[in-house]
């Protein structure tokens, strides 16, 4: 009876051992297959496009000086009217033009110590701003503005607040095509990687779209914008 029990225990032990061995083999294969599924490659795809700006903001600044304040304001009003007339002659709509309040400085109120007296007590800076979607027409007017300078209007140059600004607002219209282009570029890079590594390119595991950036094409052509986006895509690889 005892011999039979020992034999049965031996068979049970052998069975358990064989079962554990088989289970380990199966788990090992499963892990290898799982690792194979997790072989991936992450690549980036770039899309760039040059587009013309569709809005221009043109601050036209000029200065005036006088010892008589009412006379100064009359000069400013006259110069502003001449600038508005010039812009109208260039085909720029009146609603695209706005005139700000002049910034007037009383130099006698700023006089300290015994320094030399300023030639003119009052100086003023005036801004006439053009905000228009007719970029080409406004740019053409810029080239002719010097003619008004010959008539006695002192335009202010190299002022940070007077810098011309060009804006592109059509990003949403070109986004889908650029994302598609960036994704295609990424897939081409991944396909080349797969071929070089004797692998087969699989499906996308994850993808992320980078932020769109809009910048001037170069400092001499700020009215031409460069739109750029980089997409990151991770693909599965298999043997």
Q: pLDDT tens for residues 127-181?
A: 999 999 999 999 999 999 988 888 888 898 767 777 999 999 999 999 999 999 9
CB 18 within 8 A of CB 99: no
Judge whether 145 lies within some domain. yes
Judge whether 28 lies within some domain. no
Same-domain status, 138 and 225 = no
What's the pTM value of the predicted model, to 2 decimals?
Answer: 0.76
* Exposure b/e, 33-54, CB count within 10 A at least 16 = b: eeeeeeeebebebebeeebebe
Same-domain status, 65 and 162 = yes
Q: What does DSSP assign to residue 227?
A: E
Cβ-Cβ contacts under 8 Å for 119 (sequence gap 6 or more): 65
How far apart are the C-alpha atoms of 229 and 48, rounded to whole Å?
Answer: 7
Q: Say whether 220 sits in a helix, a strand or coil.
A: coil
Same-domain status, 202 and 215 = yes
pLDDT tens-place string over residues 211-225: 999 999 999 999 999
Same-domain status, 130 and 204 = no
Domain of 135? 56-166
Complete DSSP assignment for 178-215: HHHHHHHHHHHHHHHHHHHTT-EEEEEEEEEEPPPEEE
How far apart are the C-alpha atoms of 118 and 107, rounded to whole Å?
Answer: 7
pLDDT, position 30:
45
Query: Which of 118, 145, 166 delimits the end of a domain?
Result: 166
Mean local confidence (pLDDT), 2-15: 56
Q: What does DSSP assign to residue 152?
A: T
Residue 68 has which token pair? 């008589």
pLDDT tens-place string over residues 176-193: 999 999 999 999 999 999
Q: How many domains does the chain have?
A: 2
Same-domain status, 196 and 238 = yes
How far apart are the C-alpha atoms of 93 and 60, rounded to whole Å?
Answer: 16
Query: Which of 166, 181, 208 delimits the end of a domain?
Result: 166
């Amino acid at each position: 009876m005892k011999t039979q029990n020992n034999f049965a225990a031996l068979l049970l032990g052998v069975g358990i051992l064989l079962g554990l061995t088989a289970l380990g083999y199966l788990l090992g294969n499963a892990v290898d297959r799982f690792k194979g599924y997790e072989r991936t490659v992450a690549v980036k795809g770039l899309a760039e496009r040059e587009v013309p700006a569709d809005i221009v903001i043109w601050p036209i600044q000029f200065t005036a000086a006088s010892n008589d304040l009412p006379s100064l304001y009359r000069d400013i009003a006259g110069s502003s009217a001449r600038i508005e007339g010039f812009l109208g002659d260039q085909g720029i709509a009146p609603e695209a033009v706005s005139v700000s309040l002049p910034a007037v400085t009383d130099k006698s109120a700023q006089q300290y110590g015994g320094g030399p007296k300023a030639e003119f007590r009052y100086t003023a800076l005036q801004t006439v701003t053009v905000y228009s979607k007719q970029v080409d027409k406004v740019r053409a007017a810029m080239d002719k503005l010097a003619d008004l300078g010959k008539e006695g209007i002192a335009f202010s140059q190299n002022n940070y607040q007077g810098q011309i600004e060009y804006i592109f607002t059509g990003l949403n219209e070109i986004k889908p095509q650029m994302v598609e282009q960036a994704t295609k570029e990424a897939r081409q890079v991944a396909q080349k990687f797969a071929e070089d590594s004797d692998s087969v390119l699989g499906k996308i595991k994850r993808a992320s779209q980078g932020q769109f950036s809009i910048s001037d094409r170069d400092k001499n052509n700020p009215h031409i914008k460069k739109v750029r986006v980089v997409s990151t895509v991770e693909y599965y690889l298999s043997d």
